[in-house]
Amino acid sequence: MIPGFADQRDPRRVAYLVNQLQRHGIEIHQATDTLAGSFVVKLDQPYRDYAVSLLTKQDYPSEARYPPYDDVAWTLGYLYGVEVEAVDDDGVFTWPGLEKLEDTVAYLGTTSRNDGDTWLARYRGQQELLSAAIALEARAPNARVMAAEAEFEAADTAWDIGTVVFEGLDDDDADWLARTYGFDLTQVDRVDVPRHELDPPRLAVYHTWFSTQDEGWTRYWFEQIGVPYTSIHKDDLKAGNLRNRFDVILVPNAGGNLTQWIHGVDQRHGPMPYTQTSEFASHGSPSQTDDMTGGPGFEGLAALERFLDAGGTVITIENASQLVVQTGIVRDLTPYDPGSLFHPGSVVTAKARQSDHPILYGYPEVTHIFRGNGGLYRTSLENRGLMVLQFGTGSLADERDTVVTEIMGLDPAEPVVEDTTEAEDTPSEPPSEPYVLSGMVRNSDQIIGHGAIFDVPAGRTGEGRVVVFTFNPLHRFLNHHDAGMVLNAILNWNDLGSSR
């Protein structure tokens, strides 16, 4: 059973899940009686096994003789951020008030009118917020879209940090926002809460010529949700002048080592043009070059540094973080080799290190994300405040008072002088909640407590920002629950450190 719109954190994702299941031939009923609004997937139907596969946990044996190389979890409830409940009741087949869906479903937001010139919307990481803010700039240029930086009360209701505050909307604008983007809007009098403007940036998406699959998925995300971007590559970096053109440069995941990130395809194989011709009319889009060989080189890296010096924001996804960490553009992170960790694509638990950080607006303190095999980074103990989100709920060894007694086998009651220089290399403490929610991970103690997201001040004056994701929230247009974290980073690009 999929609880109805009113019982879910993101009603739009509920509709998306229901429609996806129907597209794959799975029959769905909707309750009109005691469970009004809930969606029920009966298991006496032709695609019964497929429904079970998509809606229940994957439990891949961690000691399997032949381990997987790719994703082993596809539990759509987790991936979409939708609550799905198993019904252990044979009577479900004859429940009264169940009507089979014959068409797709949609969630249209509501407007609750009161006196006042401000509208509030609860925010739960909905990916529609960025596209709504962009569209609102064109529709109502005088409107303001802001994010609350603290909890507050209005209209006799408690509102969370990250609540979206709209000003300068008329009734038609509010109805349009609710109907088009699925926000439930409440009209109130003035709101007394610290807030900052949500400024949609001039966004660039960087691509390499040696690995393009994940970058293509990133472009697909933005095109599907209506977010404009400019596709750039090595030639754009070498040309410089980046800050005059862009506010945010997103570098999607891509395979390859540091040499490839800097120097690209070996120039001995060039020139290799990628341009539109009469013979290859589809080439040259969304970007083109007279020679795909070579990379940004040190000249391009210098231009990226100047972009950060001028207050730009760089967001790197998974393996792309090499471009800023291993090159020394940011120096507070270092690569970490977890040794025997094996982490194919699985849904795992994550915990906020900074619950008030704009990247985590709309998410609870303990949440879940989708992560595959990829690199990890760490910081010194004094720089642990750069960590926004961590893997698992346990802590690293050097964050525990007992670390020395555990390492040296001393009596815990005995006072000791702690030296935790290398303590982070010891296994983390057992998590208070299961780490793997769907899929499989071997030796998970080697990742629990390590950083999933880092927010690092960058540039000569620290006015720039580098946001490092050590997992891919834009994976194959699949993990819609996680995508809001990247979209939050984009939408709050110039306010990431404002409340800290």
Q: What is the pLDDT along the chain (500 residues), one digit of tens a residue?
A: 999 999 999 999 999 999 999 999 999 999 988 788 999 999 999 999 999 999 999 999 988 888 898 899 999 999 999 999 999 888 888 888 999 999 999 999 999 998 889 999 999 999 999 999 999 999 999 999 999 999 999 989 999 999 999 999 999 999 999 999 999 999 999 899 999 999 999 999 999 999 999 999 999 999 999 999 999 999 999 999 999 999 999 999 999 999 999 999 999 998 999 999 999 999 998 999 999 999 999 999 999 999 999 999 999 999 999 999 999 999 999 999 998 999 999 999 999 999 999 999 999 999 999 999 999 999 999 999 999 999 999 999 899 865 544 454 544 444 444 443 444 555 555 556 899 999 999 999 999 999 999 999 999 988 999 999 999 999 999 999 999 999 999 999 999 985 44
**End residue of a domain, out of 68, 94, 120:** 94
What is the enclosing helix (H) or strand (E) of 77? helix 76-80
Q: Give the domain CATH number at 179.
A: 3.30.70
Cβ atoms of 214 and 206 closer than 8 Å: no
- The DSSP call for residue 135 is H
d(CA 200, CA 205): 15
CB 51 within 8 A of CB 41: yes
Is residue 103 in some structural domain?
A: no
Q: Are β-strands 164-167 and 144-148 bridged in parallel, bridged antiparallel, or unpaired?
A: antiparallel
Q: Which helix (H) or strand (E) holds 231?
A: strand 230-232
**370 touches 73 (CB < 8 A):** yes
Nearest to 456 by CA among 324, 298, 318, 304: 324
Is 218 contained in some domain? yes
Question: Are 146 and 221 in a shared domain?
Answer: no
Nearest to 391 by CA among 466, 463, 441, 316: 441
Cβ count within 10 A of residue 80: 20
Kindly state the DSSP code that residue 101 receives in the 8-state scheme: -
Q: Give the pLDDT score at 405.
A: 45
Residue 489, phi then psi, degrees to nearest 5: -65, -40
Output the pLDDT for position 133. Answer: 97
Structure tokens at 252: 């999607």
Number of H helices, E strands in the chain: 12, 23
**Residues 433, 366: Cα–Cα separation, whole Å:** 9
- Domain end: 162, 197, 232, which one? 197
Q: Which two tokens stand for residue 2?
A: 């999929």
Contact criterion met (CB below 8 Å) for 254 and 214: yes
CA distance 388 to 498: 14
Instruction: Judge whether 53 and 119 are in contact, CB under 8 Å.
Output: no
Return the closest-CA partner of residue 199 out of 129, 150, 252. Answer: 129
- CATH number (domain holding residue 389): 3.40.50.880
Tell whether 365 and 447 lie within a shared domain. yes
Task: Specify the pLDDT at position 433.
Answer: 85
Same domain membership, residue 322 and residue 291: yes
CA distances (Å), origin 26, targets 17, 30, 92, 107, 438: 11, 13, 16, 20, 22
State whether 28 and 87 are in the same domain.
yes
Report residue 178 as tokens.
């609710």
Largest CA distance in the chain: 79
Same domain, 156 and 52: no
Distance of CA 457 to the CA centre of its chain: 20
Entry field: residues in the chain: 500
Separation of alpha carbons 201 and 7, rounded Å = 33
Q: Which of 345, 300, 480 is nearest to 68 (CA)?
A: 345
472 and 327 part of one domain: yes
Same domain, 291 and 240: yes
**In a 3-state reduction of DSSP, which class is residue 310?**
coil
Position 140 in a domain = yes
Q: Are residues 251 and 148 in the same domain?
A: no
Q: Which two tokens stand for residue 499?
A: 């409340």
Contact 430, 446 (CB under 8 A): no
Residue 312 included in any domain: yes
Helix axis angle for 128-139 and 171-181, nearest 10°, is 150
* Residue 383 DSSP class: G
Count of other CB atoms within 10 angstroms of residue 7: 13
Q: Is residue 345 part of a domain?
A: yes
Boundary of a domain, candidates 197, 225, 254: 197
- C-alpha of 183 from chain center: 20
Domain contains 414: no
β-strands 29-31, 39-40: how paired?
antiparallel
Q: Say if residue 73 is in the same domain as residue 157.
A: no
Residue 53 lies in a domain: yes
Same domain, 219 and 182: no
Residue 269 CB coordination number (10 Å): 11
Number of domains composing the chain: 3
Asked whether residue 400 is assigned to any structural domain, the reply reads no
For 344: left if phi > 0, alpha if psi spans -120 to 50, otherwise beta; the answer is beta
Do 232 and 364 reside in the same domain of the chain? yes
Contact 208, 274 (CB under 8 A): no
CA–CA distances in Å: residue 372 to residues 38, 66, 324: 32, 17, 21
What torsion, rounded to 10 degrees, do the Cα atoms 73, 77, 83, 85 define?
A: -70
Range of the domain at 83: 5-94
Residue of 389, 369, 387 lying closest to 378 (CA atoms): 387
Q: What is the DSSP letter of 396?
A: -
Would you state the pLDDT for residue 430?
A: 56
* 380 and 241 assigned to the same domain: yes
- How many beta carbons lie within 10 A of that of residue 265, not counting itself? 19
Query: What local confidence, expressed as pLDDT, does residue 412 receive?
Result: 46
